[in-house]
């Protein structure tokens, strides 16, 4: 669902406490061998092991400070230690075309606890963040979130398609190749999410080439793979990446096989209320889950989903619990939105205000959403291989 300007509970609790005590190496970082590729509905590493991508979104390189959130509150190593404590194996790292093309100096206030970044430009800090994640064996999926850096998303924000007047498609393709080449030799950079939450009339196919995201995704995916043929290519859908109904009859084929992953998003805000888990299951099966039973087989990675930090939001909290159940039953890969404990500057946002969906505390040194993390940890282990 679109992001607006934005059972057994005892068993879950016990399992969550147990999982919080398990070191990262027992999960995935030490067992995964990049690069990754697809095989049917599964994602595999270079050793042929099934991988469930379990990710957090760490935004900031797409926002008005042009730098990952939290570097004003905690050392980079501390934030990465918190990602390890959550137990995920990957980070979806949003970036803006403006950040790459302008590469502005980052504001001193946004990196004040990391003096090594004072006076540095945005891409230098991105280099350091990616290198630090890689040293921790945390995979990175680069996400082209917006063209102009700012908070996302609205229909009329100028970022709803993969291009606009200031950042035409030619720049989008060139920027992707520039970024991919920059990190080509960093094996822990494993994926490219071509464009976030297509909207503003975008369609999967259709007669208007200015709105045909299917054709543009083929051009974008092939451009990415020309720069690095070993990356996964994550492809979102129209209607804020909630509508995949046309994907079953019009699949995406790239020049290099076994690289495509479809990436739906899901939020309860602004959406329908579900009376039961079965009702939720039927709705999400119709949106995208049916693709797990179609050919050609393509893996699914839910690139964004999230909810109120403390799960004290009534029916929306129940939605989150049911959606975790849905992810588990379907053995899906996923990426929680967001890691951040505070907001960056932007439309409808106020710098350093509480990030109400964030997993971390505002000082970025502790887990704030502990019940939520316990639930997420129940769906972190690799799934069994799917049978053809």
Q: Mind listing the pLDDT tens digit for each residue in 307-349?
A: 999 999 999 999 999 999 999 999 999 999 999 999 999 999 9
Q: Based on the structure, what is the number of domains in the chain? A: 1
pLDDT of residue 387: 59
Residue 14 has pLDDT above 50, yes or no: no
pLDDT in tens, 265-281: 999 977 789 999 999 99
Q: What is the DSSP string of 279-320?
A: HHHHHHHHHTGGGGGSSS---BEEEEE---TTS-STHHHHHH
Q: Are 71 and 117 in contact (CB under 8 A)?
A: yes
Percent of the chain scoring above 70 in pLDDT: 91
Q: Hey, which residues does 266 pair with through a beta bridge? A: 305
Residue found under tokens 């230098």:
124
What φ, ψ does residue 122 adopt, rounded to 5°? -55, -45
Q: Has residue 30 been placed in a domain? A: yes
In sequence order, what are the beta bridge partners of 367? Answer: 360
pLDDT (tens digit per residue) in 184-210: 999 999 999 999 999 999 999 999 999
CATH number assigned to the domain comprising residue 191: 3.20.20.80
Cβ-based neighbour number of residue 98 at 10 Å: 21
Residue 250, classed as helix, strand or coil, is coil
Q: Look at residue 388 and tell me if it is in a domain.
A: no
175 part of a folded domain: yes
- pTM confidence score: 0.92
Q: Does a structural domain hold residue 2?
A: no
Residues spanned by the domain of 99: 9-377
**4 within domain boundaries:** no
Q: Is residue 274 in a domain?
A: yes
- In a domain, residue 37? The reply is yes
**CA 62/CA 39 separation, integer angstroms:** 31
Q: How confident is the model at residue 1 (pLDDT cuts 50, 70, 90)?
A: very low
More confident residue, 382 or 113: 113
52 in any annotated domain: yes
The answer on pLDDT for 287 being more than 60 is: yes
**Residue 312 CB burial class (10 angstroms; 0-12, 13-18, ≥19):** exposed
């Amino acid at each position: 669902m679109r992001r607006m300007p934005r059972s057994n509970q005892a068993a879950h609790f016990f399992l969550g406490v147990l999982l919080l005590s398990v070191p990262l190496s027992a999960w995935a970082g030490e067992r995964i061998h990049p690069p990754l590729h697809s095989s049917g509905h599964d994602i595999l590493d270079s050793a042929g092991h099934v991988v469930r991508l379990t990710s957090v979104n760490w935004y900031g390189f797409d926002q008005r400070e042009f730098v990952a959130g939290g570097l004003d509150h905690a050392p980079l190593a501390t934030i990465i230690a918190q990602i390890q404590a959550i137990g995920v194996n990957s980070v979806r790292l949003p970036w803006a075309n403006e950040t790459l093309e302008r590469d502005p100096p980052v504001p001193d206030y946004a990196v004040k606890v990391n003096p090594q970044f004072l006076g540095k430009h945005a891409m230098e800090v991105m280099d350091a963040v990616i290198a630090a994640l890689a040293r921790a064996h945390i995979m990175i999926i680069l996400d082209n979130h917006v063209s102009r850096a700012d908070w996302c998303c609205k229909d009329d924000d100028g970022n709803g398609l993969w291009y606009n007047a200031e950042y035409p498609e030619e720049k989008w393709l060139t920027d992707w190749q520039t970024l991919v080449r920059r990190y080509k030799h960093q094996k822990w950079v494993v994926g490219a999410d071509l464009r976030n939450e297509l909207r503003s009339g975008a369609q999967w196919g259709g007669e208007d080439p200015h709105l045909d995201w299917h054709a543009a995704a083929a051009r974008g995916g092939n451009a990415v793979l020309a720069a690095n043929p070993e990356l996964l290519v994550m492809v979102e859908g129209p209607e804020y990446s909630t509508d995949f109904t046309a994907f079953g009859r019009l699949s995406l084929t790239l020049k290099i096989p076994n690289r495509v992953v479809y990436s739906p998003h899901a939020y309860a805000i602004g959406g329908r209320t579900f009376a039961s888990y079965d009702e939720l299951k039927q709705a999400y099966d119709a949106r995208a889950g049916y693709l797990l039973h179609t050919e050609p087989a393509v893996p699914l990675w839910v690139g964004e989903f999230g909810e109120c930090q403390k799960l004290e939001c009534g029916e929306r909290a129940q939605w989150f619990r049911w959606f975790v159940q849905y992810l588990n039953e379907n053995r899906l890969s996923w990426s929680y939105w967001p890691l951040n404990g505070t907001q960056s500057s932007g439309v409808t946002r106020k710098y350093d205000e509480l990030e109400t969906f964030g997993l971390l505390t505002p000082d970025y040194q502790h887990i704030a959403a502990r019940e939520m993390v316990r639930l997420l940890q129940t769906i972190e282990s690799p799934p069994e291989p799917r049978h053809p």
